[in-house]
Amino acid sequence: QQHFFCVKSRHPYAVRYNDTSVLEMHHVAASYRIILEGTECNIFQSMKDNSYLNIRSVVVSTVLATDMSHHFAELGKLKSRSVSGNFLKSEADMKSDRSLILNVAVHACDISNPAKSISTYVYWAERAMTEFFAQGDREKELGIPVSMFMDRATTNIAKCQIGFIDIIVSPLFSQLQQVLPRVEAATKCLDSNKRFWARRVDHMETEMTKGTQAFPILHSDQDPDQQSPTASAAQIRPPPDEPRQIP
């Protein structure tokens, strides 16, 4: 369940956190509650207050930065600071620059699935789309507007993935690469994985129309450009006893 679903459905988390970064707020609060409520998990118990507060500040900042509502603002800040010529060099801006790059790096990790090898990417994309469609089904049951890309009857999975790469992931990773050149390995995966889906738009349109929404099977982790676009209507091979079609 995503942030906006929690807000629209008046979930207790949304009420508790005043409709603000609902899931991110919950994740940080729940984690610290578990850590601090006893000694078994308390990694901070021997730490000085200043160190604890500094770490907590970074944790809260980076986790809240994974809220997609901050995506374009954080990307804009990174672009602005990157062209300044003194990013991560100016003593006056060092604290805010370090916070910014940490926030962007953790957020990049959070949305990095399309930047991974094709087998890993498709494997987890199937799980993400399963969650999306389950939320869309629930939204229909509750009579609230279905969130974008969460209606199994109208979502072409290939177009969904291409849009995610083009609009969200690639711009962030391309900008991050200007600061961290080794991110190039991830941007290359983004390019090849986008081509993988571009060759399957028509095939996934058929899957959507049939109501099966089955993922293409991958026979290996070979170059995505070498994978057959319509080799099978089956999903990527799941572990034993797991369903092969998005429920």
- Please answer whether residues 79 and 173 qualify as being in contact, where contact means their C-beta atoms are separated by less than 8 angstroms: no
Residue 186 and residue 190: Cα distance in Å, rounded? Answer: 6
Is pLDDT above 50 for 241? no
Q: What six digits make up the tokens of 204?
A: 């996934």
How many other C-beta atoms can be found within 10 angstroms of the C-beta atom of residue 73? 10
pLDDT at 236: 36
Residue where the block lists tokens 């959507």: 208
* pTM of structure: 0.86
pLDDT at 231: 44
pLDDT at 246: 57
Higher pLDDT, 62 or 236: 62
Closest CA to 99 of 50, 71, 65: 65
Question: C-alpha 59: how far from its chain's center?
Answer: 18
Residue 187 and residue 119: Cα distance in Å, rounded? Answer: 16
**pLDDT single digits (tens) 19-43:** 999 999 999 999 999 999 988 899 9
**pLDDT single digits (tens) 55-83:** 999 999 999 999 999 999 999 999 999 99
- Please answer whether residues 120 and 98 qualify as being in contact, where contact means their C-beta atoms are separated by less than 8 angstroms: no
**pLDDT single digits (tens) 111-145:** 999 999 999 999 999 999 999 999 999 999 999 99
pLDDT band, very low/low/confident/very high, at 168 (cuts 50, 70, 90): very high
How many other C-beta atoms can be found within 10 angstroms of the C-beta atom of residue 136? 21
